[in-house]
Amino acid sequence: MGDIAENKGSFYSNAEVYWKEVPPTVDGMLGGYGSISNIDINGSKAFLQKFLGEGEGKTSPGCALDCGAGIGRISKRLLLPLFKTVDLVDVTQEFLDKAKPYLGDDSKRVGHYFCSGLQEFVPESGRYDVIWIQWVIGHLTDDHLVDFLRRCQKALRPNGLVVIKDNVSYEGVVPDDVDSSVCRDLEIVHRLVARAGLQIMHEEQQADFPKEIYQVHTLALR
List, as residue ranges, the binding site for S-adenosyl-L-methionine. 68, 73, 90-92, 118-119, 134
d(CA 141, CA 139): 7
Q: Which residues contact 190 (CB under 8 A, 6 or more apart)?
A: 200
Of 3, 133, 139, whose CA–CA distance to 65 is shortest? 133
d(CA 32, CA 23): 10
d(CA 130, CA 218): 14
Please give the annotated binding residues, written as ranges.
68, 73, 90-92, 118-119, 134
d(CA 100, CA 98): 6
3-state secondary structure of 73: helix
E-only strand ranges, the chain: 63-67, 85-90, 110-115, 128-134, 156-168, 173-176, 181-184, 200-205, 215-221
3-state secondary structure of 110: strand
